[in-house]
Amino acid sequence: MKKTALYPWHEQAGAKIIDFGGYLMPVQYSGIIAEHKAVREAAGLFDVSHMGNFYVRGVRAGEFLQYLTTNDLAKVSDGEAQYNLMLYTDGGVVDDLIVYRIDAETYFLIVNASNSPKDYAWIQKHIGAFEGVSIEDRTDELSLVALQGPMSGAILHKVFPDEDFSSLASFRFRKVFYNGTELLIARTGYTGEQGVEICLPNGSALEFWSALMEAGEEYGIQPIGLGARDTLRLEMGYSLYGHEIDSTVNPLEARLKWVVKMEKGPFIGKEACRQVELNPRYAVAGFSLDGRALPRQHFRLYNSDRQEIGTVCSGTLSPTLQEPIGTCSILREYSRPGTHVMVEIRGTMHQGVIRALPFVQR
């Protein structure tokens, strides 16, 4: 099992540790509901250093990544980032990722932890056709922390009093120095709250994490585990690989058509997307349930005639709404908000309704 550079801090803080993506990671500290509330109302600090980090370099690096991914990287300038997808030729999702353009010949990719080895192999498989382009895996050398919540800006200003991050727009990033170490700070996140994600060398991670925690003390900052990270993203309707998307799911049937630019040049999986675009059968939708029973992944959804119409992708008790919510992959004709559905939970049918996403407006 791998450990992040911040593992000693988590252990000392008494976090509950689990295996996630091959890493020993904190799932909770004080508790999922309290941590969730801290991010929505104040600020939370996440260790997401298990995510994969790759550099792609070369004169044709942009051309290569434009072919490898579905979004239009031609619209991305230096200092900008873009949410993206890599697809198999049949249209299934290899992974979702964020691509950062450092300059015309240098790109930084952050991919999902459990997919990192697979992603690296997939990129290596296709990179040879683009002469001079190389990939470098920096996963074991870099840490990634996320500072999220309405007080995140004030906390960041305390640590960097000479920097103005208020002008840093969504999906923009800049490089700054902390005690002589270069950091990449991006206006990105997975919670729906304002905040940043910060990439830095492992050797500086503990010192920087401690500085953020200290600066945030007066604002109510809390360390946040993977449990609250999941409830926060689910309230926003964000996709999680292995749940809303995977190798069997086409993004056009998973609320991700906006990431697939059919008008750009060739990309892997384009023809499969074109076929689905002509006749999409499924959609990913939100839903809520009456009562307190919790929907879980793979539970089945039914219509009023008790015909199976879909399956649950993710489910939880929403800490903000205090009701069971979830996402589902469902036949398109049942995906309209307000449609009544039933979810089978341990042999019992529970009444529910399709809901618009996100569940929580920020």
Q: Which residues does the annotation place in the binding site for substrate?
A: 197
CA distances from 153 to 189, 293, 348 (A): 13, 37, 46
Could you identify the residue written with the tokens 């969730």? 36
Q: Judge residue 229's burial from the number of C-beta atoms within 10 Å of its C-beta, 0-12 exposed, 13-18 middle, 19 or more buried.
A: buried
Which amino acid does the sequence have at 236? M
- Other Cβ atoms less than 10 A from the Cβ of 131: the count is 10
CA distance 51 to 144: 8
User: What DSSP designation does 257 have?
Assistant: G
CA distance 252 to 133: 30
Bridge partners (DSSP) of residue 19 are: 24
CA distance 131 to 134: 9
CB 357 within 8 A of CB 319: no
CB 325 within 8 A of CB 286: yes
Q: Provide the annotated binding site.
A: 197
**Tokens, residue 57:** 């370099």
CB 111 within 8 A of CB 97: yes
Among candidate residues 355, 284, 348, the one with its CA nearest the CA of residue 313: 284
CB 360 within 8 A of CB 323: no
Q: What is the CA radius of gyration of the chain?
A: 21
Which amino acid does the sequence have at 209? W
**Tokens, residue 10:** 């988590």
